[in-house]
Amino acid sequence: MYNLQFEEAHRTFNGWEQSHPNDPLGPASDAAAYLFSELDRLGVLQWELFLDDEKFKRSRKLVPDTATRQAFDKALARSEQVVDNVLARSPQDENALLAKIMGLGLRSDYLALIDKRYLASLGYMKNAGILADKLLAMDPSCYDAYLAIGVENYILGLKPAPVRWLLRVYGAQADRDQGIEKLRLTAEKGHYLLPLAQLLLAVAALRDKNRHQARELLAGLARQFPNNALFRRELDRLH
Over residues 16-35, the pLDDT tens digits come to 999 999 999 999 999 999 99
Measured over the CA atoms of residue 95, residue 192, residue 136 and residue 159, the dihedral's sign is: negative
Instruction: Tell me the C-alpha distance between 128 and 133, whole Å.
Output: 9
Q: Cα(145)–Cα(131) distance, rounded to whole angstroms?
A: 9
Q: Does pLDDT of 165 surpass 50?
A: no
**Does residue 1 form part of some domain?**
no
Which residues, other chains included, contact 164 with Cβ-Cβ below 8 Å and sequence gap of 6+?
156, 157, 174
Q: Which domain holds residue 58?
A: 6-238
Q: How far is CA 228 from the centre of its chain?
A: 17
Domain-located, residue 21: yes
The per-residue pLDDT for 181 is 87
pLDDT digits (tens, 9 = 90+) for 45-79: 775 555 655 555 556 667 889 999 999 999 999 99
Residue 59 domain-assigned?
yes
Predicted confidence band at 212 (pLDDT cuts at 50, 70, 90)? very high
Instruction: Judge contact between 24 and 86, C-beta under 8 A.
Output: yes
- Which CATH number belongs to the domain containing residue 16 in this structure? 1.25.40.10
- How many structural domains compose the chain? 1
pLDDT exceeds cutoff 60 at 199: yes
Residue 64: inside a domain, yes or no? Answer: yes
